C-alpha cells in the first residue's frame, strides 16, 4: 500500500471558515460617477448620510464584520501558512506539519525552490504552491 502524498493529507483540525461579509464595501456615490473610484474611503462630512448611518444607505465597515481570529488568514485547505526562505527553515515544521504548510518565499531562486520542494516531500511537509517559478517561459 502506498503512503499518502502530502497533498492528500488533511489538517489535524479543520475549523469551518466563516466570512461574515464577502461583498466589497464601495465608496459613497461611486456608482453614478466614473471619477470616484469604487474602493472604500470613509465619508468625512458632518452632513453625509452614510457617515451618519442613515437607513438604506451604503454600509460602513465595523468590527462586527471581522472574521474569526483563528481562521482569518487560513486558506481553504485548513493549514496555516509558514513562509520559508531556505531549506533549514523547513525543519522547524517537523513537529507541527499537520497544522502548518509551507509557502516558499518569492525571493527564492527556481533552483533552490525545486530542492526545497523535494526536501519538504521527504519530511512530509505540505507545500502550498509547489510548482511556482518552475515552468520555463517561452517567447
25 compared with 135, residue with greater pLDDT: 25
pLDDT for the residue numbered 4: 56
Q: How much is the mean pLDDT over the chain?
A: 88
CA distance 47 to 24: 24
Q: How confident is the model at residue 13 (pLDDT cuts 50, 70, 90)?
A: confident
Q: How confident is the model at residue 10 (pLDDT cuts 50, 70, 90)?
A: confident
pLDDT for the residue numbered 9: 76
- Max distance between CA atoms of the chain, in angstroms, equals 71
Q: How confident is the model at residue 1 (pLDDT cuts 50, 70, 90)?
A: very low
What beta strand segments (E) does the chain contain? 80-84, 100-104
pLDDT tens digits, one per residue of 36-95: 999 999 999 999 999 999 999 999 999 989 888 888 888 888 999 999 999 999 999 999
Nearest alpha-carbon partner for 90 in 131, 119, 114: 119
pLDDT for the residue numbered 106: 94
If you count them, how many residues does the chain have? Answer: 139
- For residues 4-28, average pLDDT: 83
Amino acid at each position: 500500500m502506498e503512503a499518502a502524498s502530502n497533498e492528500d493529507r488533511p489538517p489535524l483540525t479543520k475549523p469551518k471558515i466563516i466570512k461574515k461579509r464577502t461583498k466589497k464595501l464601495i465608496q459613497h456615490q461611486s456608482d453614478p460617477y466614473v471619477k470616484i473610484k469604487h474602493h472604500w474611503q470613509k465619508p468625512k462630512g458632518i452632513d453625509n448620510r452614510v457617515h451618519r448611518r442613515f437607513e438604506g444607505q451604503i454600509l460602513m465597515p465595523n468590527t462586527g464584520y471581522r472574521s474569526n481570529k483563528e481562521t482569518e488568514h487560513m486558506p481553504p485547505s485548513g493549514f496555516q501558512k509558514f513562509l520559508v526562505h531556505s531549506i533549514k527553515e523547513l525543519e522547524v515544521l517537523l513537529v507541527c506539519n499537520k497544522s502548518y504548510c509551507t509557502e516558499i518565499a518569492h525571493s527564492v531562486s527556481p533552483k533552490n525552490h525545486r530542492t526545497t520542494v523535494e526536501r519538504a516531500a521527504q519530511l512530509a511537509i505540505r507545500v502550498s504552491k509547489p510548482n511556482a517559478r518552475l515552468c520555463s517561459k517561452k517567447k
